[in-house]
Amino acid sequence: MSVKTRLSPRDKVRIFLEGPKDNVKVAEVCRREEIWPNEYSRPYVRQDQAVLERFFRNLKQGEVYHQEYENHYQAQDGISKFIDYYNHQRPHQGIGFVTPYQKLTGQEKRIIKERRTKALATQKVRKIKNRRRINLSINEEMTSVKNRNKKILV
């Protein structure tokens, strides 16, 4: 199973569906939303459909189970908004914590480069702060050792 997104000329998201029977209603909404499904894997073989199964799990847990739709128009609207969020705002671990849209448009290289630059700058700042802390703690230890050696006369 695979979930692939491509931008059409009308800027709609396409999902290639290879879903089992329990996802038929979601697939129907996707068809009505003009998200064109294509089936490539063997039916009812979940190992072939791991990516799509995960997408449907995210869709159900992120949107469908949290809403009570009064009609299919509300369901269609809610699922469309979730798919837009899923593709344009939600970072995905499998593609380097960028969104599928950023990956599709080639922005991920710039984003990852910016992250590395920020990480290196943060590491340098931490090193400086840690050196200061170490120096302060060493100075405190040295003064406490000096004070131990002094005899206090009362």
pLDDT tens per residue, range 77-95: 999 999 999 999 999 988 8
Q: What is the pLDDT of residue 132?
A: 80
Residue ranges per domain, the chain? 21-106, 107-154
- pLDDT category of residue 139 using cuts at 50, 70 and 90: low
Mean pLDDT score, 87-109: 91
- pLDDT category of residue 135 using cuts at 50, 70 and 90: confident
Is a pLDDT exceeding 50 seen at residue 2? no
> What pairs with residue 92 in β-bridges?
98
Q: What is the largest CA-CA distance in the chain?
A: 92
Mean pLDDT score, 16-40: 57
Closest CA to 89 of 79, 78, 77, 98: 98
Q: What is the pLDDT of residue 3?
A: 45
Mean pLDDT score, 105-131: 91
| pTM of the full structure | 0.53
